[in-house]
Amino acid sequence: MGLLRLAEEVKTSWDQSKYGSTLAGKNIALLFQRPSTRTRVSFEVAIRKLGGGSIFLSWQELQLSRGETVADTARVLERYVDGVVARVSDHQILVEMAKNAGIPVINALSDRFHPCQVLADLLTIWERFGALKGVKLAYVGDGTNVCNSLLVGCTKAGMDISVACPVGYEPDPEAVKWAFENASRTGSTVVITDEPIEAVRDAHVIYTDTFMSMHIPESEREKRMEVFIPDYQVRPELFELARPEAVFMHCLPAHRGEEVVPEVIDGPRSIVFDQAENRLHAQLALLIFIYGGAGGGGVGGR
């Protein structure tokens, strides 16, 4: 909860004299292999707000695209910058970079996990319900990187989580294992099912993600739509089974008519833009935690 309390503080009572020089004299490399709107902009704004400089590096601009190893790239970057924010297609790239760089490496998204998104999600849920413990989140759809990180993050925070995915599209088994381990310590409940109706019953939050993650070839679209629609599409009927105060969440970008219908994402239950805003505040808190003396080292992340 320490990071969330810090995120709440920087959001509601920003103190320039206290935090504005956290990254003074420091430069952070943003190494992005994948397209980005929220992650890139929120990190660049956060770094600037903390007094630092950012250098955006697309994969194609680096010698990585011509065969230089991740290990060599990490060793070079540590000589130039004070940290790396990496958004990559393969989680192992993050592992290699954190292993070989003597500077913090932050997971800004991989094919397996998206911890920065879930940090913002937890802040959003906490703001909405005033607590995390005892709050139930139901995830419906594809077992994506966001789903994996929600399993880990929610159970660490004492939340209950139910995940409904079609057979063959379940979350990462290791993420499920970690979730059950966390739940044994925090008292959370974890349900993995292929029945959306079972998952959303009495939920405070219904959450979904795209059915076509960035690493999935377009040739699979037709097959995936047949698997997921209509049973795993978030529609108003699902909210009839959830709690009266239930809200809708989505990490964005959204594809209306696929994983969610417009009536839900554009309706009064939707808090997706609160989530998007909180990416900035959560990442401010993360950078303060790492560079302000409270943390350090690589942040591979789940």
| Active-site residue set | 87, 114, 117, 209, 251, 279
**Which DSSP state fits 259?**
T
Amino acid residing at 142 = D
3-state helix, strand, coil in the chain (%, to 5): 45, 15, 35
- For 108, 183, 209, the CA distances from 111, given in Å and listed in that order, are 11, 24, 13
Q: How far apart are CA 24 and CA 29, in angstroms?
A: 15
| H-state helical runs in 1-69 | 2-12, 16-19, 38-49
Q: How far apart are CA 197 and CA 184, in angstroms?
A: 25
Q: Report the chain's terminal Cα–Cα distance, integer Å.
A: 16
What are the residues whose beta carbons fall under 8 Å from the beta carbon of 301, sequence distance 6 or more? 94, 106, 107, 113, 115, 116
What's the angle, vertex CA 121, arms to CA 299 and CA 56, rounded to 5? 50
**Which DSSP state fits 172?**
P
Q: How far apart are CA 265 and CA 76, in angstroms?
A: 44
Angle formed by the axes of helices 2-12 and 272-291, to 10°? 110
